[in-house]
Amino acid sequence: MIETLKIKLLDGMHAHNEWECALEIPIDHSLEELHQAILCAVGFDNDHMYEFCIASSYYSRSAQRISCDDDKVTQETIETILSKAKGNKLFYMFDYGDSWLFQINKSRKKCFSEKPDTFYPRVVLESGVKPEQYPEWDE
């Protein structure tokens, strides 16, 4: 089954504009695969640590966190993490230095069966200005 997720950029060192996308992804994909899909959607290199967080606020002391070096990142599926996030929010933090923070929400669209000849995950809608991971610096 395919879930449509809304990925919204909330913050980051070079986050000067709003950006979000709708991402169709199989619900049996792992958090590691979701991480890869988000990086691909935003156009970032996979060269930093990351984590997923379930909480009312990313900075909450009671947040449940799954970091990239935790075995759960390859074991937890999108389906299970969305179930655990009910009543809270799901966040994705990439690069603790530049602090790229994204919020992940289920869309209102119901899960659907994979369409033949369609590659998933895939971005189906995008709005705003995609951030630059490494903008050129004026000298």
Residue 134 lies in a domain: no
- Over residues 111-131, the pLDDT tens digits come to 999 999 999 999 999 999 999
Note down the domain range covering 91.
2-127
Residue 9 lies in a domain: yes
C-alpha 12 chain-centroid distance: 14
Identify the pLDDT of residue 94.
97
User: For tokens 């996030």, what's the residue?
Assistant: 85
Nearest Cα neighbor of 96 from 131, 48, 41, 55 is: 48
For every residue of 95-127, DSSP letters joined together read: -TTTTEEEEEEE-SSPPBPPPTT--SSEEEEEE
**What percentage of residues in the chain have a pLDDT greater than 90?**
91
Residue 133 lies in a domain: no
Q: Look at residue 138 and tell me whether its pLDDT is greater than 80.
A: no
42: tokens are 């935003």
| Count of the separate structural domains present in the chain | 1
pTM (2 decimals)?
Answer: 0.94
Residue 71 is part of a domain; what is its CATH number?
Answer: 3.10.290.30
For every residue of 57-88, DSSP letters joined together read: STT-TT-EEEETTSTHHHH-BHHHHHHHTTTS
Identify the pLDDT of residue 19.
98
- Over residues 27-85, the pLDDT tens digits come to 999 999 999 999 999 999 999 999 999 999 999 999 999 999 999 999 999 999 999 99
Identify the pLDDT of residue 137.
64
Residue 135 lies in a domain: no
